[in-house]
Structure formats: C-alpha cells, structure tokens
Structure 1
Amino acid sequence: MSSAIAIETRRALKEYGTGSHAVRALDGVCVRIDKGEFFTLLGPSGCGKTTLLRLIAGFETPTSGQILLHGKNITTVPPNLRPVNTVFQSYALFPHLTVADNIAFSLRMLGRSRSDVLQTVERMLSLVRLESFASRKPQQLSGGQQQRVALARALAPEPKVLLLDEPLSALDLKLRKEMQRELKRLQTETGITFIFVTHDQEEALTMSDRIAVMRSGKILQVGAPREIYNHPVDRFVADFIGETNFLSGRVEGDKIRLSSGELVAAETEGHSGSVTLAVRPEQVGICPAGTSDSLTAEIVDTVYFGTDTHCHLSLADETELVARLQSPPSGNIGLSRGEKVGIKFNPGAVQVLNE
C-alpha cells in the first residue's frame, strides 16, 4: 500500500441551520486516508460518517475546513468534476438497460470511444464475475448480483476514490458475508482507494486496512482492526467494537482492586484512582473454584451458539460478565447454572480505561 495521501480532511466542520437552531454534524474532523487503502468510517447512526462521505463526494460543502484529493484542495469543486464515484445503499440501476449498458452508461456520458467502452465493460464484467449476465436486465438478477453491477458501473471510469455508503445493508446475512470478501477482492485487484461507511463492526473488522471510529461528529480513534479491537482508547470504542466486559475498580500499584474486593493484575502505568477494565469474552477462561490467582464467580446461564458457548457469570458483587468458550463436539461444556467457578483473564487481555 502506497504511503501517498489520497484524501485529507483539515478541520472539516459541517453545521445545518443557523444560530441557536444549528446542528453540528461534523466537528473539526482531521483525517488522512492513504492511496490504495480500504478505509472504513464506523459509528452509530447520526455520528457524522455519511456527512463526511458526502463532503468528500462533493454533495455537501463544509461550513469550514478543507477537503484535499492527492494534495489538491477540492473543497468547492462540484461532484461531477471530482474523480470520485459513490455506491449507495440503493443500487440505482437503470431498469430498462441491460447489465452491460448499465456499466457502459457513465463511460458513454464521458465521451469514451465505442471500442474503449466495449473493452472496459468486458473487463468490468470479468472483474465482478458476471460475464454471462451481460444481456440481462436488473430485475432478472439477485440482490448480490445487482450490487456487483452497481460496483462495476462505479469502477468503470477508474475513479481515484470509490465511496461506499452502507452498500451491503439491504442484503441477507449470508450474502452480506460473501459480498464483504468480494469487496475486499475488488479493492485489492483494482488498487483504488475505498472509503466505506458502515455501522456494522463485523464489516469494518473483516474488510478494512484501517478504521475510524466516530461519535457525535468526531473521530475518536483511527487504527488497524486489530489495534482498535485490542487497544481501544476509551469505553465507547471498546463497547462499540465487539462484545466487551466492563469491570469497575481502583488502581493499587500494579493491580486493580475490583468493586468485588478482588485484585486483578493489569498495566496501570499512566492510570490512577477509579478506572474501568475492559476484557473481551474470548479472553476469559474458566477454572475450578479456588484456583490460585482466580476470581470467584457463579454460573448464571450458558447459551449455545454452535461453535461457541457463551457462559454468563456473576462476581461476588453481582457484576456480570461473559466468557466465550469453544464448544466441545458434544456441545455440552459441563457447567451448570448456580455452579461456583474460578475465572482468569488471558495475559495482556485486561485494558485499563480512565473513567
């Protein structure tokens, strides 16, 4: 992946309305997105991720701040003059045109030669693996196939940046997972910078080179999926990315005294006073009650998920947490409701967050 910057936003601020009625959708966002990167804007509804995408596309103009494309200020450049394409939730295919003609439409509007259009359409059909569907109409395709046509149409003019606004949200779970792999393959093969908007953490973790977690118009953390998942900067990020157990306590030297009264070893440097511990369920192990250096817990419930079993536990102070255990072939992990057990956290699994 090139280190060149494809997109940069400099203190991008967007407000709707004026005076006391103004709503701030983006609050001075600064971010750099590398050329050839699959970059995801992740956050809950209303966090500003789609607004940021629309600023990059040119559909909106920032109230203040700048948008740069490969170092050039494009803040006021209209969308039709930006080498950027967008794929929306709605595929917006022309129902009266064939698959091939849908892909060719933007190329013809750009005045490309007939031979160039034919060659590009053929290449795009091959890229999205729809060669045998060229003469079909959109209504003759499945949802996943329509999504591929929309992607092919957006990629055909070879934009420098492709923006994707929750394009998989209308698909069922199995097809969405297939399209996640497909999108990553397309991005890798074309080398085009993809900026993907979603509220789905699994999509972000599966496809992204880097993720920006957003909340209330701001970017809270930018990093690779493993970094964001394993080292969240605050409770919101830890809670939004995957499942997380939270425990309250106070720093005592190199350990944390939990509200249950028990001690947990953790990296406490830079922390003091009251803190919150974040521990992923897969990092919680169960051992016999009374095991050295274990916490005492009671089994509240077990929920079978096929490959995994979620074991719901309660500490002495009734703090609840979940352990995600691999299910044995029998499907029975041998733990009963009300049983006393010990729990241990994997080395390095405990993240300390200031309150």
Structure 2
Amino acid sequence: MTTDVAVEARNAVKAFGQGETAVRALDDVSIQIRKAEFFTLLGPSGCGKTTLLRLIAGFETPTSGQILLDGKDITNDPPNKRPVNTVFQSYALFPHLSVAQNIAFGLEMLGRPRAEITKTVERMLALVKLEAMAGRKTSQLSGGQQQRVALARALAPQPKVLLLDEPLSALDYKLRKEMQLELKRLQTETGITFIFVTHDQEEALTMSDRIAVMSAGHIQQIGGPREIYTRPVNRFVADFIGETNFLSGEAGEGRVTLASGDVVQVEGAEGRKGKVTVVIRPEQVRLAEAGAAETIPATVESLVYFGTDTHCHLRLKDGTEMVARLQSPASGEAGLQQGQSVGLRFAPGAARVLED
C-alpha cells in the first residue's frame, strides 16, 4: 500500500537517567511527516525537538516506541544504515579541502563511481550557486557560503530525508533571512523531505509547510503556519508564536464580559460559561477616537517605533495592558500621544476564546 508519509514516530519516549530521577525529554510523542514536506519542529530550549531529530537520525535510540521511514521500522538501525543526512549548527566542513572536495567526500565514502561523483558535485554546486567557489578552501568562505557547502554535501547522496538542527543560528540577521529563502528553494527543487529544528518562530512561519510546536517533551499543536498563528489550540502556543494579548473575562449568552467591564463578541464564546481567556493578536487591534461607538476605552501608555510598525501600548480602565501594532505612516507622524484616551475594537473574527 502506498503512503505519502516519509517519517513517523509512534509513541516515542526518550528518558535520560534512571528511576525517579529520570528526565523524559520526549513523552509519548506520535507524529507523521509527509514526503517532500518542509516540516519544522519548533519550541524553546529543552522542549525535546532536537531529541526527536536525533531519534530520526539514529544518534539516539528511544526508550520505548518506534521510528519508521517509508513505513519501515528503523528504530534500531544505526545512522549509516538510514537514508537520512543531517546538517548541524556547526557545519563540520573540512578546512583543508576545497568546496568541491567537501561535497564529494560523502559520495567517496559510499564508493560511488568517479564519473558519478564529478557529475553530482557539479549539480550540487549549481544548486547552491557556488560554481565559482569550487576550488576555494572552505576556510576562505563567508558564513553563508559555508552553510551552502554544508547543505550541498548533505544533499549530494540524495537522502530521502534531510535533518537540519538550527543550521542558521550562527548567521547574522540579514544573512539568516536570505538563507531562509534559499532553504525553501532547495527543498522545493530537490523534492526531499526537510525536517527543520528551530526556536525561532519567524523562521518556522517563513519556511514551513507544517509546524509542530513542542513543549516539555510533548507536541502541543501541528498545523500550517497560518493555522498555528491564527488558531492556536492553547495558551502556550498562542504565547510562543508571536506577540499576543490575553484578556480575562466571563463568558455567558454567547458574549464575554472582560475584566474591564466591557462586553465583546468573540469567536468560541457560544455555549461557554464562566471564566475564559480571550486572545487577540496586536495587528488585529483597531484604534478609534475616544468614545466612538462599540469601542473599548483605553489610554495610550507608550509608543515604540519599529520602522514599518509602531507598537502602541495601551491600558484598559481596569489596568489590563494591551498592545496594538499599527502600520507606521509615511509622514513619520504617529498621530498618537502618550496619555491620550482612545477607543479600541477588534478586527472581525480575530478575537477568540482560548481553549486552556
């Protein structure tokens, strides 16, 4: 039976230590990653994302559970018996070899014919746009160029799956942004399944077909970037992915009465009663003149200019703090002042009752 699943973890547990002091880095994790998918494991340090990557690579063996590739159980297969390659944070290039020799190294270890190696190296150099650097030592390259060599070397044997363990973390911001686009291009052109580990939400949202948000050894949510951002399943996901406003309130009759006393219509309030949390992204907060109809009274606490955006920090009448992200006007005049009274409302359908 054919399947589009490239990698699967079934009830994977990884514990370090023994007895009561054992730490579960992964706690009964099950996940399916599709073929030709750019899949990202996202979460804070210590959440288990790198441990899961190492189980797939074969560098660690699960305490219990299974790892499958193309439906075959590879749980106990050594790394060199898996059609999987890994790109690490440190690129681990050979400084005494040229770019072309670095790319060829893995193919030579596999005993590939010389003509095939030459042809593959040429194709990889073209893929990562380093043809002019073929004869240069890797120590003479920039960080971004070294990253491309590491990718080309990992892609050269045509693995079924490429694992990437925070490979952009050592690059500066501008170069990291460029490499995000390059990685997505490489994945699309090669059709290889990429499994990418990062703690950077922007990286995950930019490149991924799907994202698994992890915390404390568990998967909190799996979905596309837009779904993860706009429909987080719990407070952890909402708080970890981007900036979020959390408002306490009391649900009843399909509406929510906020702690400030203001009544709002929000998605998910129907059928709910009792204390709830309303979540709203800063860019979905709209400002109006003080006293405008159907607005929530607020006071401007501060304005922080970020170039394209201005973050307006607000305080509701009960002391609740909120942030509105406003597009910075071309004139440079924000039109708002600290201490100013304003009214705020939510973009239609943007505010939701959070499932805690």
Q: Where do residues 188-337 of structure 1 align in structure 2 (5 Å cutoff)? A: 188-267=188-267, 268-269=269-270, 271-337=272-338
Query: The residue matched to 1:228 in structure 2 has which SS?
Result: helix
AA aligned to 1:250 is: E
Q: Please state if 1:119 is matched with 2:119.
A: yes
Count of residue pairs brought into register by the alignment: 354
AA aligned to 2:223 is: G
Deviations 1:123-160 (A, max 9, x none): 00000000000000111100000000000000000000
For structure 2, which runs of at least 5 residues remain unmatched after alignment?
A: none
Query: The residue matched to 2:50 in structure 1 has which SS?
Result: helix
Deviations 1:262-290 (A, max 9, x none): 11111213533111111000000100111
Deviations 1:158-179 (A, max 9, x none): 0000000000000000000000
So what's the TM-score if we normalise by structure 2? Answer: 0.98
State the identity as a percent. 70
Whole-angstrom CA distance in 2 between matches of 1:262 and 1:3? 51
Contact 2:284 2:346 in 1 (8 A): yes
Q: Please state if 1:72 is matched with 2:59.
A: no
Whole-angstrom CA distance in 1 between matches of 2:16 and 2:100? 40
Query: The residue matched to 2:93 in structure 1 has which SS?
Result: coil
Q: Please state if 1:136 is matched with 2:150.
A: no
Whole-angstrom CA distance in 2 between matches of 1:169 and 1:270? 45
Q: Please state if 1:110 is matched with 2:113.
A: no
Whole-angstrom CA distance in 2 between matches of 1:322 and 1:152? 43
Whole-angstrom CA distance in 1 between matches of 2:270 and 2:185? 41
- 1:32 maps to what in 2? 32
Q: CA deviation at 1:260?
A: 0.5
Q: CA deviation at 1:353?
A: 1.2
Contact 1:271 1:354 in 2 (8 A): no
Q: Structure 1: which 4+ aligned runs deviate by more than 4 Å? A: none
Q: CA deviation at 1:102?
A: 0.1
- 1:343 maps to what in 2? 344
AA aligned to 1:217 is: G
Deviates further, 55-64 or 262-271: 262-271
- 1:43 maps to what in 2? 43
- 2:59 maps to what in 1? 59
- 1:97 maps to what in 2? 97
- 1:5 maps to what in 2? 5
Deviates further, 55-64 or 330-339: 330-339
Contact 1:164 1:195 in 2 (8 A): yes
Q: CA deviation at 1:209?
A: 0.1
Whole-angstrom CA distance in 2 between matches of 1:332 and 1:75? 60
Q: 1:66 to 1:328 in 2, by over 3 A?
A: same
Query: The residue matched to 1:328 in structure 2 has which SS?
Result: coil
- 2:186 maps to what in 1? 186
Query: The residue matched to 2:354 in structure 1 has which SS?
Result: strand
Whole-angstrom CA distance in 2 between matches of 1:149 and 1:26? 32
Whole-angstrom CA distance in 1 between matches of 2:175 and 2:332? 27
Contact 2:252 2:272 in 1 (8 A): no
Q: CA deviation at 1:3?
A: 6.3
Query: The residue matched to 1:248 in structure 2 has which SS?
Result: strand
Whole-angstrom CA distance in 1 between matches of 2:228 and 2:188? 22
Q: CA deviation at 1:330?
A: 1.4
Q: Please state if 1:172 is matched with 2:140.
A: no
Q: CA deviation at 1:66?
A: 0.3
So what's the TM-score if we normalise by structure 1? Answer: 0.99
Deviations 1:67-91 (A, max 9, x none): 0000000000000000000000000
